[in-house]
Chains A and B, each alone.
Chain A
Amino acid sequence: MTEDRSLEAFRDEVRAFIRESATEEIREAGRKTTSVFAPFKQAMAWQRILADKGWVAPSWPQEYGGTGWSLEQRYVFAQECNRAQMPPILPQNLQMVGPAILGFGSDAQKEELLPRMLSGEDFWCQGYSEPGAGSDLAALKCRADRDGDDYILNGSKIWTTYAQHANKMFALVRTSSEGKPQQGITFLLLDMGLPGMEVRPILGLDGAPEQCEVFFSDVRVPCANRVGEENEGWTVAKYVLEFERGGSTMGAWLVPAVERLREQCEQVDELGQRRLDDPVLARRLEALEIEALAVEHTEKRVNAGLKHGQNPGPMASLLKILGTEVMQRFSELQLEVTGLRSLVYDPGALEIGAAPSDFSEDELLAMPYYMNTRAASIYAGSNEVQRSLLAKAVMAG
């Protein structure tokens, strides 16, 4: 009981902070987020505000800027940010490269890079995938050859989200073709815009340049920018995946999102009708809410297990599959609810600060969100790969 009460007090504190500190522009960006990647400028502005408060990296160790919150508090924080429709913090700094440096970085790297990651002074992009190596990262070919105290990079990277906004990149590169493919990979840090580097944005299905391709032609990177040992980048990458153990908060997004969709269905339209009075739609909303709750409580159950020292193991794959697929079903129902009013393609109206359009934000968002969300079952290890991992782990007993 005491624990619940203190958690509710914490919830009130989070709510009050959001209410007082989020600017109108940041709120607009949160509402107009059609992806897991919020509009860049406002997401970084919100990151700065959270960093100043000391709340930006709940999962980091406290000595490096973490909050020291319990897993329950972290979940409450995520719930309240989502309920207030704040733009999600871009994961590259705090959930991807940060843990790599925390786990394997040199003291000099930690001292120089971690504070700039938290504040958002640096923005990092992820150079993992390549045209021939998506979910199969061991197949990556982008080469780093030793030349004195430098590596020389040749090759390309793809699906580097927001590379056009980044000033830094963390990359997995091939330093050896001997032994198992995973064994010749090295984790490197580099500045964007080095001579020989080129960034090409790729338009997505929603018409937005969220992804990029990055080309390297004899790009020189000092060996001091390596994280961990040469040829042991795979170990660093795996550590990053495990760092966020219990960090999955998809349910904290889904549950309020379903609530908002229900509110949309409760509105009376120009003919005096409510969509919610359609019994078929009402049932489908109920079913979606159950799915969202299944995600939330599976996440909380995994977190509860962690407190007792259990390892999430195959549950990490389960959470990836479950969370992303319920998110996709949510996007389908949202699109159906919006119906004919979601046909219009008007990307300009989704820009932050755009003059009000003839169509509401809900109407403009449904289609791009539906399109963009198809990527959820592809990114971060496709759901096919996750299912294979899950089956293998569980069948073995």
Chain B
Amino acid sequence: MQYQYTAEQQEFRDSLRRFVSDHYDYERHRQRLAKGEHFDAGLWQQWAELGVLGLALDEEYGGLGSGLDDMMAVAEELGRGLVPEPVVPVVAAARLLASIASPAQAEALLPSLVGGELRLSLAWEESASRGNPLVVQTRVKDGALYGKKCAVLGAGEAQQWLVSARNEQGELLLLLLAAQPAGLRRYVMADGRAAGDIQFDGVPVDDSAVLCRGDAAERALRQSVSESLLLMAAESLGCIDSLLSVSGEYLVTRKQFGMPLAAFQALQHRFADMFIAGEKLRSLLWAAFQQQGREGFHRAAAQLKVQLAESGRYVGQQAVQLHGGIGMTDELNVGAYFKRLTLMELMAGQRDDHLAGLALAS
């Protein structure tokens, strides 16, 4: 039973933490976003050189052949650094691609993903999907694609999109398409990351775009989305751990009514509850990790997403509250973590959506 990172993973994580704190300190982060710089090609290249982009890919394609736990360690540090580049979505999409591509496609695409030259976005979420990747309204009809994908992280930076759709027989397809500006509505999200909605109004699709279909496509997509939920939870733990550390320090140093805030029992208890909320999420993250490859994996991932919503909201809101007015400003990182947690709560299915799905399935 694995409940923590190995010594080796811990070491890797520490080195990433140094990289992130060197390149993503909060002041620089703020200035970048104020200037509308959501993606830095130079930093992206450095992520590639660190091996992060190929972490989850086989060594024969230049990757490191690591597991989901290594990616969780990375995601924690990305959350801690509020990194706006779409590292996790690209790595997760690459992992999905590797699981469904033919040897020829793998050889053609994966090395350039590892090297950072090719960026891939997985577009699965739709307004009606509510966390269930098998609810797909996007359709292939007479060789053309119709439908709308929402909240696609890194959609504007990607050269290729992996898109889920159904054909006229209702069969699930996973398509690989060249990214195209037409139909892409790019936007900046409330936490400063870039995303996009993609509208397909009859984009031509030929058979060569179909990487996978039917049951195999359903299995691969569900696997990928559940893995992404684990990575989101790890990323949110990075945010939560940072909020606990910033808030703890603030409570000890900030004085009101002649004493440090930490002397007020109501606030001590609040802080303890925030810590508990974080530990619940950490426990369920490892619990879900242990279910990998087993039947209970998707259920555990959905349970984890529910906990992410609860823990993220509680810790985020309370961290702002404990800081008072200063927590409401853009100048302190507290609000930035709160925003990132809020977005993760809303994406890939909300608390009630996953609870409904869990209740239906059991």
Q: Is the CB of A340 within 8 A of B125?
A: yes
Q: Is the CB of A134 within 8 A of B324?
A: yes
Given contacts A207-B330, A343-B343, A345-B187, contact A273 B128 (CB under 8 A): yes
Q: Is the CB of A339 within 8 A of B346?
A: yes
**CA–CA, A368 to B325, complex, Å?**
16
Q: Which of A202, A340, A346, A384 has most chain B Cβ within 10 Å? A: A340
Q: B228: shortest Cβ distance to chain A, in Å? A: 15
Q: Dominant SS at the A interface? A: mixed
Q: Is the CB of B150 within 8 A of A374?
A: no
**CA–CA, A139 to B356, complex, Å?**
50
**CA–CA, A230 to B224, complex, Å?**
69
Q: Dominant SS at the B interface? A: mixed
Q: B268: shortest Cβ distance to chain A, in Å? A: 12
- 7 examples of A-B residue contacts, CB within 8 angstroms: A135-B256, A159-B325, A270-B127, A271-B127, A371-B190, A371-B342, A378-B327
**CA–CA, A270 to B137, complex, Å?**
11
Q: B139: shortest Cβ distance to chain A, in Å? A: 13
Q: Is the CB of A374 within 8 A of B352?
A: no
Of the candidates A135, A271, A284, A375, which one forms a contact with B137 in the assembled complex, judged by CB atoms under 8 Å apart? A271
- Report if B338 contacts A (CB, 8 A): yes
Other than A204-B330, A382-B321, give 7 A-B pairs with Cβ distance below 8 A.
Answer: A202-B330, A203-B329, A205-B320, A205-B338, A269-B127, A340-B125, A342-B346
**Interface set, chain B 335-360, CB cutoff 8 A to A:** 335, 338-339, 342-343, 346-347, 350, 352, 355-356
Q: Is the CB of B267 within 8 A of A384?
A: yes
- Report if A158 contacts B (CB, 8 A): yes
Closest to B328 in A: A375
Q: Is the CB of A343 within 8 A of B347?
A: yes
- Report if B195 contacts A (CB, 8 A): yes
On chain B, the residues within 8 Å of A377 by CB distance are 321
The size of the chain A interface, using a CB distance under 8 A, is 47
Of the candidates A135, A340, A344, which one forms a contact with B347 in the assembled complex, judged by CB atoms under 8 Å apart? A340
**CA–CA, A339 to B330, complex, Å?**
23
Q: Is the CB of A387 within 8 A of B330?
A: no
Given contacts A340-B127, A384-B266, contact A378 B325 (CB under 8 A): yes
On chain B, the residues within 8 Å of A269 by CB distance are 127-128
Closest to B191 in A: A345
Q: Is the CB of B266 within 8 A of A339?
A: no
Given contacts A345-B190, A382-B324, contact A136 B256 (CB under 8 A): yes
Q: B357: shortest Cβ distance to chain A, in Å? A: 12
- Report if B272 contacts A (CB, 8 A): no
Q: Is the CB of A211 within 8 A of B346?
A: no
- Report if B263 contacts A (CB, 8 A): no
On chain A, the residues within 8 Å of B266 by CB distance are 384, 387-388
On chain A, the residues within 8 Å of B329 by CB distance are 202-205, 211
**CA–CA, A370 to B343, complex, Å?**
12
**CA–CA, A344 to B155, complex, Å?**
14
Q: Is the CB of A336 within 8 A of B339?
A: no
Q: Which of B127, B137, B331, B338 has most chain A Cβ within 10 Å? A: B127
On chain A, the residues within 8 Å of B328 by CB distance are 204-205, 211, 374-375, 378
Binary contact track A281-319/B, C-beta < 8 Å → 1, others 0: 100100000000000000000000000000000000000
Q: Is the CB of A378 within 8 A of B127?
A: no
- Report if A175 contacts B (CB, 8 A): no
Top 7 A-B pairs, shortest CB-CB distance: A203-B330, A205-B335, A344-B187, A136-B256, A345-B190, A343-B189, A367-B190
Give the contact-size bracket for chain B.
Answer: 35 or more
Q: B359: shortest Cβ distance to chain A, in Å? A: 9
**CA–CA, A384 to B267, complex, Å?**
9
On chain B, the residues within 8 Å of A343 by CB distance are 151, 187, 189-190, 195, 343, 346-347
On chain B, the residues within 8 Å of A207 by CB distance are 330
Closest to A374 in B: B320
Given contacts A135-B256, A136-B257, A139-B256, contact A335 B330 (CB under 8 A): no
Q: Is the CB of A211 within 8 A of B189?
A: no
- Report if B178 contacts A (CB, 8 A): no
- Report if A1 contacts B (CB, 8 A): no
**Interface set, chain B 192-235, CB cutoff 8 A to A:** 192, 195
- Report if A93 contacts B (CB, 8 A): no
Q: A338: shortest Cβ distance to chain B, in Å? A: 9
Q: Is the CB of B256 within 8 A of A370?
A: no
- Report if B276 contacts A (CB, 8 A): no
On chain A, the residues within 8 Å of B313 by CB distance are 332
Binary contact track A185-207/B, C-beta < 8 Å → 1, others 0: 00000000000000000111101
- Report if A280 contacts B (CB, 8 A): yes
Q: A80: shortest Cβ distance to chain B, in Å? A: 31
On chain A, the residues within 8 Å of B317 by CB distance are 374
- Report if B43 contacts A (CB, 8 A): no
Q: Is the CB of B335 within 8 A of A340?
A: no
Q: Is the CB of B257 within 8 A of A346?
A: no
**Interface set, chain B 138-192, CB cutoff 8 A to A:** 150-151, 185, 187-190, 192
Q: Is the CB of B352 within 8 A of A340?
A: no
Q: B60: shortest Cβ distance to chain A, in Å? A: 38
Of the candidates B189, B324, B342, which one forms a contact with A135 in the assembled complex, judged by CB atoms under 8 Å apart? B324
- Report if A79 contacts B (CB, 8 A): no
On chain A, the residues within 8 Å of B192 by CB distance are 345
**Interface set, chain B 231-288, CB cutoff 8 A to A:** 255-258, 264, 266-267
**CA–CA, A211 to B327, complex, Å?**
13
**CA–CA, A254 to B327, complex, Å?**
25
**CA–CA, A270 to B317, complex, Å?**
33
Q: Is the CB of A374 within 8 A of B346?
A: no
**CA–CA, A346 to B189, complex, Å?**
8
